[in-house]
Structure 1
Amino acid sequence: MEGLDEPVLLEKTTSPAASHADKERAILEACRWRNLDALRALAESPGGFITDKTRQQAWPVLLGLPSGDGETPTIPLGQATEAGPWKELPRHRDEDQVQLDVNRAFIYYPENQNDAELARQKDELSALIVEVLRRNPYLCYFQGYHDICQVFLLVLPPPIRAPAVARLSALRIRDFMLPSLGPAVRQLRLIPDILRASDPRLWHHLSGTEPFFALAGTLTMYAHDITTLGEISRLFDVLLAREPVFSVYMFAAIVRSRREELFDTPHDEPEMLHSILCKLPRPLDLEALISAARALFDAHPPERLPAWRTISRASVLRTARHPGVCATQSMADGRGFFEKQVTELRWLKRRDKACELLWQHRRPVRTVGIAVLVGVAAAVFRRYPGVLAYIYGIVSRWVR
């Protein structure tokens, strides 16, 4: 992009001798030019975006919002589906559950809060979530969504929190906000494929363990399991800069990092293996895991994984397959993809019910099916007698 010497920028920021000040300047320069490739490289480099000050500039750009400095955005932003004061909008169906989860928020961070400060932050968190849901009523709340929103509330300034979370919801974690967890579970099926391709011995050891152990981590962008604001903010840097499927590779890297511990547990004890895998390792070496996830992604891209064929074309994994795509999509795009996925889910539900019904009545169905085939054959032979003679000739030669 004109005015930005990208090779020098990346050389500066990835050099071991680069200071935090140099890197902060590079981040702000990339935000100024909305250089998503440079931001991705900076997010993946050690330390990510370093401070909340730079995150307040970078995260909105990665999500397709203005960078927070008042400049006019150069790409389509998209808008929430409802305008006007959100408190005057109809109540969302999931607000009771929102309040239950908000009551359990802010357990680990921020630290040293008094009761009044904690109550204020819970009110702000509830308002943030409810505003996003009321403005986008088609979205379905899921338990753990408040963990994600809590991070955005603590990092971003108030004016851009709701727009940022709305775009995140519709364009990056949309699969989790559908009326069914089916699409989220299908994402997890990619993890065994990554392990089989990269570490066959470990894959075989875990072959009796379903990948549901990764649900809480991937569903909440790891915000449910990481207990320090610095670590989860740093991980959000790379998750927002990369394509949504990168989160799955991140969990595969976490699994591989625990090889020795997992091999110490017998393969025929899936419950014990599940118990180990559903908790993140301590301490958590985020820089090493991010590097390992990037290497896994490069060596085994999703298109090579068998489970990729089961991922809906309207899934965020496909509609935002490449980094930076989310920043160019609109909220209307997100809603359109959402509706396509809902239609697919309804069709799959009807198909499964039909298959179940056929299985329950398989003997009568078999009899009816044979009768129908005989009737159709008789009608064909009556209309085309030559077909019967032709078949008879083939059978006769085969019998001889």
Structure 2
Amino acid sequence: MSEKASYSINKEEALKEACRECDIKSLINLANSDGGLLSDDIRATAWPLLLGCHDQDTQPVVDQRWTDLPVHSDEEQVQKDVDRAFVYYPSNETQSSLENNRVALLNIIVKVLRLNPMLHYFQGYHDIAQVFLLVLGEEAAFSAVSRMSLLRIRDYMLSSLSPATKHLQLIPAILRCADAELADHLSSTPPYFALSAVLTLYAHDVQKYSDIARLYDFILAHEPVYAIYLFAALIISRRPELIEIAAEDHDMLLFTLSKLPQPLDLQTLIDKCLAMVKDYPPECLPGQAWRNISSYSVLKTSRENLREQSLVEGRALFNKHSQQLAREEMTAKVVKHMRKNRRPIILSGATLLVGILSYYLRRNGTDRILWSALWRIAEVFGNR
């Protein structure tokens, strides 16, 4: 027996034992190692454990069938995306099997959305859901996708992609720590090239089923911020290619960075990701990138006890984050309006201030002395 075959047999036994004992620590270590969780048979047991799935997760939150709940506003887009699902895998699927998978995928997504109507569907969400369907089957996939939605990717299901763009800003900060020269080279290229991969946890961009399944072994074993570090590891793995492109050639850099390299050396990327999280934890990243992440974000609320969190907690955090986002958006609108109408607002404010001061000074008999000086100050501010 070859050394590789012997390793696989021993690892398979270790995985089965960890699943039987619900030994999360051992499962994480095994998911990090070469080959990940090895097979879908093992994943069918291990993934729910890594996600912290509970029996109550499958129970509706209302006393009626989910099919009787109000239609979610995003269901039309869901249908369009599901019609385009299963492009790369599974291969050699019959038309009947393909249609059955699409029906099951639609049911999973619509059920999650109807039971959680505050969530906003995003294009690519179906890519994540289809991976769980293929590995776990429809019923278990619903529980897994529910926990993913509320506890791991809920930032991407808010009314705005603003939180997602803040996630992306961590990438330059990670690069600054791990490879300052490469960070300088890419400093004029905003990290929006990573949006598709990060938003869909790579499911939209990875075309090989064995790769995405193995990648999800790793992603599910860790908190959500690891997926961000993983993209930074991808960038560093392409260092020679990127350095050859002129820093001023933004279009070429964006094109190169937005396409994942083929084939993917997953184990090398995973090892690099683990090392960077250890050496440069998010709390220690330079600049304001981590501070700008909301305290209600999955990146921060998952730092501890992720698997013990309930869907109820996830919904509460979503609502708090949503309210915070609404306040930020309102503040931004007010600031934009004030900047646009800066002179009239300043003149009005200055006039009001002068009026109040004038009344006060008149009462004290000193208005004639200071009136001229105050009016000059108001004119100066109004001309800015």
- Common fold by TM > 0.5: yes
1:307 alignment partner AA: A
Offset from partner CA, 1:237-258 (integer Å, 9 cap, x none): 1111111000000000001111
User: Which residue in the other structure is 2:121 paired with?
Assistant: 141
User: Which residue in the other structure is 1:223 paired with?
Assistant: 203
Q: Which runs of 5+ in 2 are unaligned?
A: 366-384
User: Which residue in the other structure is 2:380 paired with?
Assistant: none
Shift of 1:135: 1.7
Shift of 1:79: 5.1
Q: Is the 8 A contact 2:151 2:298 kept in 1?
A: yes
User: Which residue in the other structure is 2:370 paired with?
Assistant: none
TM-score between the two structures when normalised by the length of structure 2: 0.89
Q: Is the 8 A contact 1:78 1:331 kept in 2?
A: no
- Which residues in structure 2 correspond to 1:164-179 (within 5 Å)? 164-179=144-159
1:29 aligns with 2:17: yes
Shift of 1:376: 6.0
- Which residues in structure 2 correspond to 1:210-359 (within 5 Å)? 210-305=190-285, 306-322=288-304, 325-359=305-339
Counterpart CA distance in 2 for 1:29 and 1:383 is: 87
Q: Give the ranges of 4+ consecutive aligned residues of structure 1 lying more than 6 Å apart after TM superposition.
A: 378-385
Q: Which runs of 5+ in 1 are unaligned?
A: 1-14, 67-72, 386-400
Aligned-partner SS, 2:10? helix
Q: Is the 8 A contact 1:191 1:252 kept in 2?
A: yes
- Which residues in structure 2 correspond to 1:1-400 (within 5 Å)? 19-65=7-53, 80-305=60-285, 306-322=288-304, 325-374=305-354
Counterpart CA distance in 1 for 2:199 and 2:236 is: 20
Structure 1 residues 204 and 315: alpha-carbon distance in aligned structure 2, compared to 1, 3 A threshold: same
Offset from partner CA, 1:327-374 (integer Å, 9 cap, x none): 101111000000011101110111011101110111122223334455
Structure 1 residues 277 and 383: alpha-carbon distance in aligned structure 2, compared to 1, 3 A threshold: farther
Q: Is the 8 A contact 2:104 2:138 kept in 1?
A: no
1:308 alignment partner AA: W
Q: Is the 8 A contact 1:86 1:134 kept in 2?
A: yes
Structure 1 residues 96 and 77: alpha-carbon distance in aligned structure 2, compared to 1, 3 A threshold: closer
Equivalenced residue count is: 364
Counterpart CA distance in 1 for 2:293 and 2:357 is: 40
Q: Is the 8 A contact 2:66 2:115 kept in 1?
A: yes
Deviates more, 1:32-41 or 1:215-224: 32-41
Structure 1 residues 229 and 383: alpha-carbon distance in aligned structure 2, compared to 1, 3 A threshold: farther
Offset from partner CA, 1:150-183 (integer Å, 9 cap, x none): 1001000333111111011100111111111111
Q: Percent identity?
A: 46
Shift of 1:31: 2.5
Shift of 1:379: 7.4
Offset from partner CA, 1:113-167 (integer Å, 9 cap, x none): 1222211211111111111111222211110000001100100033311111101
RMSD: 2.5
Counterpart CA distance in 2 for 1:171 and 1:142 is: 16
